[in-house]
Structure 1
Amino acid sequence: MTFLRPVLCFCLVALFLSCSESTKERASYGEALGTTYSIKYYSEDIIPLDKALDSIFERVNQSMSTYRDSSDISKINQGDSLVKVDSLFQAVFVISKQVWKDSNRYFDPTVGDLVNQYGFGPEAGSKEIDSVAIDSLMQFVGFEKLELKGDRLIKESPQVYLDFNAIAKGYTIDLIGHYMDSKEIEDYLIEVGGELLAKGVNRERGSYWTVGIDDPMQEEGQRELTATIELRNRAMATSGNYRKHRTDPETGALYVHTINPLTGFAQKSDLLSVTVLAENCALADAYATAFMAMGYDLSKLLLSKNDKLDAFLIYSTLEGEMKEFATPGFEELMKDL
């Protein structure tokens, strides 16, 4: 299963900037959800973290993996109307609906068929991409075509295809955080595929966790930071398909191509990357996806209206110049490189 967002973004890997050891410092590393994870925490006792992680990853896969034919979401997409969805599915549905409304539908988990049509996702293949093909799929796109009644998902049409890949990884990180909290772990940093959730402090430094954000103009395989921040009891998600940007031959402006869920077509976006801070990682994950589709102006407008989010935007002007914008809350967390 892969929870990398197709077309819309590729996660920037945030870097841990402290690697010192102590008797109370513990860590867990591995692979899951089609990516890698790294967890650092402080505890007097060793907790059964690996066993808990296996359980969490399995529950998420069985509930929401479009890459597993036997999962609940796959059965729903195959037309099974009798599936009873679990509490994880229900929670992700509710958060998705919240972000769908707040982003004016730019975040839409029903774009899965469009993602497949463009050659990404579990059902990718060589398919026609023209107005006729896109129009035929758009009649089944729209989160308003879904309704959650208890543990049953009601679809307006059996052909509506649901895909939580743009939020499920962030939600998985939140589940891991809930587990750490249940074990009374006060200081931890959880990273899965470049997305993060931090609580407390890095005890080696005696300060909040410091993480880095990749420079979107670096060559593949290289790692340069464009910013570092203190992550103070918040979650962080970074999105961008900046390594596949295109240059407008007339203006010199840089663009990335993202799927617009309102039209169904891939469109130019002047946002090269966006890093979002939120109270939980599911929200950060979902809003990062939405912003990439919205572009710079609409993203900045939404941020001005939502005081629970902070963000760092890297965008291209019409003249091809790369610029940065940070909300005041994000800016105060930034540190010198």
Structure 2
Amino acid sequence: MNPNARKNIIYSLVLFAMLLLVYAWRTREGKPVIDTSAKSVTGKVSFSGKTMGTAFQVSYLDPSNRDFQPSIDSLLNVFNLSVSGYEPTSEVNRLNLKDTLISPSKTLVSVLKESNKMYDLTAAALDPTRSPLEKIWSFSPSGVKLQDSTDVRIFLSLVGLKKVIITDSLIRKSPPGILLDFSGSAKGFALDLIGEFLEAKGIKNFLIQIGGENLARGVNEKGELWKIGLFHLVDSTQTKSEGIVALQDQAISTAGSLEQFYTRDSIRLSFTLDPRTGYPATNGLLSATVIGRDAKTADALADALMVMGWREAIRMDSIRDDLQMLLIYNEKGGGLKQYISPELVRFLSFPVN
């Protein structure tokens, strides 16, 4: 065969192969890469969406591959219309405008009654009427500032959950001007509602996430406990590192941040207001992670402990066997310290000294 003819044939074959590759790549654009390793075999169903100003994700194992997203979207919509501050026409927003709400929903009454229990348990550290105080203080890395010529006592008089009268047929705030805000606990309530829904459908293995709050039951598609990332301190250097915790039929919630703090008298202080005093909390607790059986308790206690402080948190951990904690805090003149519940250690991916 003529050498030039052979070269032309080779060039034609190479060009044809390149055209096939380009065509294959172009038809791939805009389509997800399909993972057939587990989903079709194990019956894992996952979906996501938006609620309460953040993202949520639901994953569960179901041999029948049932799609519960429409039902869960509807459940969240009904919940938000009761207690979410993000919904302009929600019951809680209407109550904040009128001070009285006749024939409240069972959802709102239930959330208020549970909030009262947590209010009592935390000695008023968790208070959904704290909003007036949040409007007069501002936090930044350089410090905390009170609005000029502001009398904290005036705004503190508008704080206190016991000033809200709750019955199954009526909710009334007295005095007028009290504002209810469930942003510190609503995600936990919603997680538990979705979990109860899935369990009623016979789903035993699931992980639900709303923002940074998580609720897990059973195992994942690999037959392992569901795993969640969390930050901890490397003891030798006191630097932040990311680890993993395995959840055994539990919920997890974290409040506070190692990045959001200001320094006063050589102590790092969190951006946390104490609704009992009307002033910033000065206990040195920077981050509180709480793991418990239900999400509403974990969510509420994580926020409350930031007000109560690390000493009270450790005391609570010592007398309750239904909670585990990871606390990061500091004291005057000392570096960062970490407390981890002894029962939690075996579920962590990192060593604890």
Regarding TM over 0.5, the answer is yes
* 77-86 vs 285-294, greater mean Cα deviation: 77-86
Distance 1:50 1:287 in 2: 29
Is the aligned partner of 1:185 residue 2:185? no
Equivalent residues of 2:325, 2:340 under 8 A apart: yes
Equivalent residues of 1:105, 1:262 under 8 A apart: yes
Matched to 1:33, the amino acid is: M
Per residue, is there more helix in 1 or in 2? Answer: 2
Q: Which residue of 2 aligns with 1:313?
A: 327
Structure 1 residue 117: Cα displacement: 3.0
Is the aligned partner of 1:279 residue 2:297? no
Matched to 1:214, the amino acid is: F
Q: Which residue of 1 aligns with 2:51?
A: 32
Distance 1:184 1:48 in 2: 13
Give the alignment's TM-score, normalised by structure 2. 0.79
Q: Which residue of 2 aligns with 1:101?
A: 120
Q: Secondary structure at the match of 2:325?
A: strand
Matched to 1:295, the amino acid is: G
Distance 1:20 1:289 in 2: 39
Q: Quick one: structure 1 residues 194 and 21, their matched pair in 2 at CA, closer, same or farther if it must change by over 3 Å? A: farther
Q: Quick one: structure 1 residues 130 and 291, their matched pair in 2 at CA, closer, same or farther if it must change by over 3 Å? A: farther
Q: Which residue of 1 aligns with 2:271?
A: 257
Structure 1 residue 128: Cα displacement: 6.2
Aligned residue runs from structure 1 range 109-120, under 5 A: 109-118=128-137
Q: Which residue of 1 aligns with 2:253?
A: 237
Matched to 2:134, the amino acid is: V
Q: Taking CA–CA contacts closer than 8 Å with sequence separation of 6 or more, which of the two structures ends up with the larger relative contact order?
A: 1
Q: Which residue of 2 aligns with 1:246?
A: 262
Choose from 2, 17, 22 the match for 2:39: 22
Q: Which residue of 2 aligns with 1:142?
A: 160
Give the alignment's TM-score, normalised by structure 1. 0.83
Equivalent residues of 2:45, 2:67 under 8 A apart: no
Structure 1 residue 293: Cα displacement: 1.1
* 60-69 vs 140-149, greater mean Cα deviation: 60-69
Q: Which residue of 1 aligns with 2:94?
A: 75
Matched to 1:42, the amino acid is: L
Q: Secondary structure at the match of 1:260?
A: coil
CA deviation vs aligned residue, 1:55-84 (integer Å, no higher than 9, x gap): 122112210122333111111111252432
Choose from 208, 230, 246 the match for 1:213: 230
Q: Secondary structure at the match of 1:178?
A: helix
Q: Which residue of 2 aligns with 1:5?
A: none
Q: Quick one: structure 1 residues 303 and 130, their matched pair in 2 at CA, closer, same or farther if it must change by over 3 Å? A: farther
Structure 1 residue 110: Cα displacement: 0.8
Structure 1 residue 106: Cα displacement: 0.6
Equivalent residues of 2:94, 2:101 under 8 A apart: no
Q: Which residue of 1 aligns with 2:111?
A: 92
Q: Which residue of 2 aligns with 1:53?
A: 72
Q: Quick one: structure 1 residues 319 and 112, their matched pair in 2 at CA, closer, same or farther if it must change by over 3 Å? A: same
Choose from 139, 142, 151 the match for 2:169: 151
Q: Secondary structure at the match of 1:150?
A: coil
Distance 1:306 1:88 in 2: 28
Distance 1:216 1:134 in 2: 36
* 129-138 vs 38-47, greater mean Cα deviation: 129-138
Matched to 1:21, the amino acid is: A
CA RMSD of aligned residues (A): 2.4
Distance 2:258 2:186 in 1: 22
Q: Quick one: structure 1 residues 129 and 267, their matched pair in 2 at CA, closer, same or farther if it must change by over 3 Å? A: farther
Distance 2:120 2:64 in 1: 43
Structure 1 residue 229: Cα displacement: 1.5
Q: Which residue of 2 aligns with 1:6?
A: none
Distance 2:147 2:194 in 1: 39
Is the aligned partner of 1:294 residue 2:308? yes
Identity rate, percent: 28
User: Unaligned stretches of 5+ in structure 1?
Assistant: 1-18, 121-126, 218-223
Choose from 263, 280, 291 the match for 1:266: 280
CA deviation vs aligned residue, 1:74-116 (integer Å, no higher than 9, x gap): 1111125243221221221122111111111111111012123
Distance 1:324 1:142 in 2: 32
Q: Quick one: structure 1 residues 136 and 28, their matched pair in 2 at CA, closer, same or farther if it must change by over 3 Å? A: same
Q: Which residue of 2 aligns with 1:195?
A: 213
Matched to 2:274, the amino acid is: N
